[in-house]
């Protein structure tokens, strides 16, 4: 029995199908991995749930939608997105992750606002470092309309940075490392924190303005 995310992905190239699968990392990372396997357009995470037994929940969903499966050896189903989401929500109710594990998170949005100000997307309402036994990730919650409950939740598995954020380290240490050791150029490479204009400005300053070369020179001559 393994904790992990069960996800629902959509690809614009075949909008009548959803992919239902699992990952013990993050759904966003899995979507990126799948998007590099020859499909013409990238996969989009429509919805996911962190559950205590991702293999069982995935199996139950696959069995539930077996009659709508596109191919026996593929995880694609011709079901409406809303129906897939409702089914996943229903299965996740009885396989929730213990509250004590979900509470292993540190809010960093105030620190990011102080450090990066107008660079941040204005609709971000939560930014947290979250740590589970096998993964440490950044979780971002965006809400475009504050009077509505609709949210966009994005997660970035910090393993994308190599071994810099091991889940075996205390979460406070990983949080401090994220806030103090990553610069704005690192963040535009691996996170969706900044606006498009901010990303362009940062990229120009670092790549054309010489900051990136300075950083590389410092790394090679400690």
Residue span of the structural domain in which 150 resides? 102-220
Q: Look at residues 13, 34, 172 and name the one whose alpha carbon lies nearest to residue 108.
A: 172
Tell me what percent of the residues of the chain surpass a pLDDT of 70.
91
Given a cut of 90, whether residue 160 has pLDDT beyond it is no
Task: Report the pLDDT averaged over residues 27-46.
Answer: 85
71, 117: one domain: no
Percent composition of the chain: helix, strand, coil (DSSP 3-state, to 5)? 45, 25, 35
Given a cut of 80, whether residue 1 has pLDDT beyond it is no
Q: How many CB atoms lie within 10 A of CB 120?
A: 19
112, 197: one domain: yes
62, 81: one domain: yes
Global pTM?
0.67
pLDDT in tens, 44-61: 999 999 898 999 999 999
131, 195: one domain: yes
210, 110: one domain: yes
State the total domains in the chain: 2
Phi, psi for residue 81 in degrees, rounded to 5:
-55, -45
Given a cut of 70, whether residue 134 has pLDDT beyond it is yes
Least confident window among 37-41, 53-57, 113-117, 148-152: 148-152
Cβ density class 59-96: b for 16+ within 10 Å, e for less:
ebbeebbeeebeeeeebbbebeeeebbebbeebbeebe
146, 174: one domain: yes
| Chosen domain end from 60, 93, 126 | 93
């Amino acid at each position: 029995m393994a904790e992990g995310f069960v996800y629902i992905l959509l690809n614009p190239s075949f909008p009548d199908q959803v992919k239902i699968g699992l990952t013990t990392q993050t759904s966003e990372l899995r979507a990126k991995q799948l998007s590099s396997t020859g499909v013409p357009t990238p996969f989009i995470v429509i919805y996911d749930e962190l559950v205590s037994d991702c293999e069982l929940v995935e199996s139950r969903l696959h069995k539930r939608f077996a009659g709508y499966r596109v191919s026996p050896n593929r995880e694609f189903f011709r079901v409406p997105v809303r129906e897939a989401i409702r089914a996943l929500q229903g299965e996740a109710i009885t396989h929730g992750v213990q509250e004590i594990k979900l509470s292993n998170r540190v809010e960093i949005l105030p620190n990011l606002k102080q450090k990066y100000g107008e660079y941040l997307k204005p609709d971000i309402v939560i930014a947290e470092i979250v740590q589970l036994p096998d993964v440490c990730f950044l979780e971002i919650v965006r809400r475009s309309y504050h009077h509505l409950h609709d949210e966009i939740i994005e997660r970035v598995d910090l393993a994308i940075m190599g071994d810099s954020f091991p889940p075996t380290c205390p979460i406070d240490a990983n949080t401090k490392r994220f806030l103090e050791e990553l610069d704005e150029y690192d963040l535009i490479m691996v996170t969706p924190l900044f606006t498009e204009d901010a990303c362009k400005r940062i990229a120009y300053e670092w790549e054309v303005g010489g900051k990136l070369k300075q950083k590389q020179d410092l790394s090679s001559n400690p």
